[in-house]
Structure formats: structure tokens, C-alpha cells
């Protein structure tokens, strides 16, 4: 594409590259593409630009629209799983023997199920992440990496980035390309869901609470909706925090997510859904929906104790570079590749600790080129790959789904030298799709 030609030209003109990069950073700061610094993470007075690509990255139109089209089905699937205690208990039975964090979450789920739910309104904000897997014949297919059902963030920055990328493309003389960067308004879609939950709740004098500092615990407040930005990692919890999480689950507030939806996003559930016949449990007599969802699945393999898990261990030890080993964690920087897979499985292959993980086929992404703008990184042309994150928002009232939408998208790009990704882990940067 013309952007590749432009990038090659910029590498031969470092002053022009520097000028464009500086303009991009300045324009980003003016348009809200900002974040706090690592040095002063709690200060609102010192900020920097959020890391992003100098140019938007080319994404095939068919793949982009496939990811958008399947999101409402994933919203429905996650919601159905959250209401199916039998499936969650069966899917997580081995995992909770090896992973204390998942066990505690399931313990809260069991307690709330036993006591009876206090709130019939449920709100969900999910982000389903995909990569483009390139086959040996050079054709590509969309494959899901994971689905995030709690603390799915980044949409505020992603909403503002298209205007920055269009500006840079125009400055570079790429006027036609600047028209191929789609708008993004994820925040509006999520706000519509919050507004619907608030409307159904019917208490107009009560506000929405955003759980940014769940780990502090020890306090109670009234809210229509509790929107979790923390609570997805073990280090977010202390003893008081677990008490607070149970208290909030018992409350009349609308939870985003509730504990069942949180569990629906675990890696073990993702692996179980890839088994033959499981999707049909949630979409009986809807073969087209099942086909749309299943088409995005990469190979997933159990590490539970038993012959099937033994076979997975042997397969991964024989060809570790073909797989990714995943614990039940979110946020990037938690997965294992290559020799690290061998090291971990050699240690745990003979006991139940291996059930804390699942194995997934490793995606071989199509390689693009871009300049990554992040504090401390030199201006250089990098070989990169991207993840397409599609945000979905939904609201259920009792047994009726009253809102189910695709909210928007987030593109995150990283150098191919990194196996795992993640903005917060300092590997990936924000990006925009250049649709072709």
C-alpha cells in the first residue's frame, strides 16, 4: 500500500520522519490521546501521549467486518454462560483445584446462586480480541485470542485516535488513504448501555460507580451500576477486598460484570467452548450463529489430568513453538511460548497444577510495517502485527436482552519480536485500522 512506500521514504529522510512524529504526538495530546506517566501514575497533573503508531495499519475489509458481525453473538454467548451454573461448575471443576483465584471467584458465584440473585438487570461490556492468522498458502483467517468480560478498557483513547491518523495521512499526502480510517465511538455505545441500565433501575437520584481501586476495599456506597476497572487479577485482592466483592455481588446495584460473566471470560471456559457440540448447547437450532462463532476459534486443548490432558502435554513438549500456554489471567504479559512452555510443563506435567493452564495453537500473524511512538523508543521502522479488539455492550432485564450492540473497535499493534501483547505491560501501542 501507499503507506509502505511512504514509510520507506521516511526512513531515508530522518528529519521529515522526526517532524511527522512530533506533529503526531502534539496532535494526539490536543485530542485526548493521553495517559499518566509511569513515574507519576497517580498524578493528573503530569501526563504524556498514549503510545500509538505513526500511521494506521492496513486491515482487510472482509476480516474487519467479520469481527464486527460476530460480536453480538459473543455478547449473547457470554450472557448465556453466566446464567448456566451447571456448565460453569463442569468447565471449571479441574481449574479450581489448581488455581486459587478462580476458585475464590467461583466460591462467590456459588454463594450468590445459593442465596438468590438480588438484581434482575445485568450489563456487560466485552472485548473480543482477534489476530489475522496467515496460513502456508498465504491466505489468512480471523482467529480469536481471548474474550475479556471484565475491565475491558482502552476505548477512550481508541475513540480519539482516528482523527490523529487522518491528520498525519493528509500531511503525508495520502489523501485517499485518510478516507479509509473508520470513525470509532465506543464510549457512546457503552454509555447507551449504562443509560439503559439506569433507566431500568428507575432510581434517577443514584449514580454509577466505577470500581478503579477495588483492592482498597473496606467501604460501601450506593450506585445504580458498578463498572469494574479492577478485579481481574489476583494482586487486586486482599482479604477485605474479597469481602467487598461479595458485598457488591449481593447488592442491588447492576454489576458490569456480575460474577458469572467474569467467570465466563476465563481461558478454561474459552477452551471448553471449542469442544465439538458445546456451542450448540447455547444456540440450539441456530447453526448459522454457531458457524460464525466457531469460524473464529483457534485450536484449544485441555491440560486436565487424564488421557486427553496427557496427550496435550506430549504434543506441546514435542513442538512447543506451535503453541501458547495460557494461565487464567488477563492484562497481557501472562502467556508462555517456546522453551518457557517446556520449562513449565516439565515441572507440572505429573500433577494437578497443570490444570491451571490451557494450550492454544499459536497464531502466525501477517507482518506489516509501522513506526511505534512510545516514550523512550527510537524512531525506527518496525515489523509489526496487530490485534483487533471489538467492544460489545449489552443489557439484560430478567430473561430478555433489551440492548445488544457492537460498541466499536480497538486496534493494538506490537513488534513481532514480542510473543505476548498488552498496552499496560508496555509491549503494544494503540492503532487505527486502515481498511482496504
How many angstroms separate the CA atoms of 52 and 344, rounded? 33
pLDDT above 80 (res 164): yes
**Whole-structure pTM value:** 0.93
Q: Please give the pLDDT value at position 4.
A: 81
Decide if pLDDT at 424 tops 90. no
**In the chain, what is the greatest distance between 2 CA atoms, to the nearest angstrom?**
67
Model confidence at 224, pLDDT cuts 50, 70, 90, reads confident
> In whole angstroms, what is the distance from residue 270 CA to residue 311 CA?
19
- What average pLDDT does the segment 90-99 reach? 98
pLDDT at 212 over 60: no
Retrieve residue 25's grid coordinates.
504526538
> How many angstroms separate the CA atoms of 206 and 82, rounded?
26
CA angle 191, 84, 273 (to 5 degrees): 85
Mean pLDDT calculated for residue range 346-369: 95
Q: What is the pLDDT of residue 399?
A: 93
Q: Is the predicted pLDDT of residue 240 greater than 80, yes or no?
A: yes
Which ranges of 285-361 would DSSP assign to H, the alpha helix? Answer: 287-294, 307-318, 339-348
Q: DSSP code of 20?
A: H
E-strand stretches of 135-266: 140-148, 209-211, 225-228, 254-256
Kindly list the domain boundaries of the chain, sorted by start residue.
2-290+372-435, 299-362
Q: Which fold, 299-362?
A: Dna Ligase; domain 1 (3.30.1490)
Amino acid at each position: 500500500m501507499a503507506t509502505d512506500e511512504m514509510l520507506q521514504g521516511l526512513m531515508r529522510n530522518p528529519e521529515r520522519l522526526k517532524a511527522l512524529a512530533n506533529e503526531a504526538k502534539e496532535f494526539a495530546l490536543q485530542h485526548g490521546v493521553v495517559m499518566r506517566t509511569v513515574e507519576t501514575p497517580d498524578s493528573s497533573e503530569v501526563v504524556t501521549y498514549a503510545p500509538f503508531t505513526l500511521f494506521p495499519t492496513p486491515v482487510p475489509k472482509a476480516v474487519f467486518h467479520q469481527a464486527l458481525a460476530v460480536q453480538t453473538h459473543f455478547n449473547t454467548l457470554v450472557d448465556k454462560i453466566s446464567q448456566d451454573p451447571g456448565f460453569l461448575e463442569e468447565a471449571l471443576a479441574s481449574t479450581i483445584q489448581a488455581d486459587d483465584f478462580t476458585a475464590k471467584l467461583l466460591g462467590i458465584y456459588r454463594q450468590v446462586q445459593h442465596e438468590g440473585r438480588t438484581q434482575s438487570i445485568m450489563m456487560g461490556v466485552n472485548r473480543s480480541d482477534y489476530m489475522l492468522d496467515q496460513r502456508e498458502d498465504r491466505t489468512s483467517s480471523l482467529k480469536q485470542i481471548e474474550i475479556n468480560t471484565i475491565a475491558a478498557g482502552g476505548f477512550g483513547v481508541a475513540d480519539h485516535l482516528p482523527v490523529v491518523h487522518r491528520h498525519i495521512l493528509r500531511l503525508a499526502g495520502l489523501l485517499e488513504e485518510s478516507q479509509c480510517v473508520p470513525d470509532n465511538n465506543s464510549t457512546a455505545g457503552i454509555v447507551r448501555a449504562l443509560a439503559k441500565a439506569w433507566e431500568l433501575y428507575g432510581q434517577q437520584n443514584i449514580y454509577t460507580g466505577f470500581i478503579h481501586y477495588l483492592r482498597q476495599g473496606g467501604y460501601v456506597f450506593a450506585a445504580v451500576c458498578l463498572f469494574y476497572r479492577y478485579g481481574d487479577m489476583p494482586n487486586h485482592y486482599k482479604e477485605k477486598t474479597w469481602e467487598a466483592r461479595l458485598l457488591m455481588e449481593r447488592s442491588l446495584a447492576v454489576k458490569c460484570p456480575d460474577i458469572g460473566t467474569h467467570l465466563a471470560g476465563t481461558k478454561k471456559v474459552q477452551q471448553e467452548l471449542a469442544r465439538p457440540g458445546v456451542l450448540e448447547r447455547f444456540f440450539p437450532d441456530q447453526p448459522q450463529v454457531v458457524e460464525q462463532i466457531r469460524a473464529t476459534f483457534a485450536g484449544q486443548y485441555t491440560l486436565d489430568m487424564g488421557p486427553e490432558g496427557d496427550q496435550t502435554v506430549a504434543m506441546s513438549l514435542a513442538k512447543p513453538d506451535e503453541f501458547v500456554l495460557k494461565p487464567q489471567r488477563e492484562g497481557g504479559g501472562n502467556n508462555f511460548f517456546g522453551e518457557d512452555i517446556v520449562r513449565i510443563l516439565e515441572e507440572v506435567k505429573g500433577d494437578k497444577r497443570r490444570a491451571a493452564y490451557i494450550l492454544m495453537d499459536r497464531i502466525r500473524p501477517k507482518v506489516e510495517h509501522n513506526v511505534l511512538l512510545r516514550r523512550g523508543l527510537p524512531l525506527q521502522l518496525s515489523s509489526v502485527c496487530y490485534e483487533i479488539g471489538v467492544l460489545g455492550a449489552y443489557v439484560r432485564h430478567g430473561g430478555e436482552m433489551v440492548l445488544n450492540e457492537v460498541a466499536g473497535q480497538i486496534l493494538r499493534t506490537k513488534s513481532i519480536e514480542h510473543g505476548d501483547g498488552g498496552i499496560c505491560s508496555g509491549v503494544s501501542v494503540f492503532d487505527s485500522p486502515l481498511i482496504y
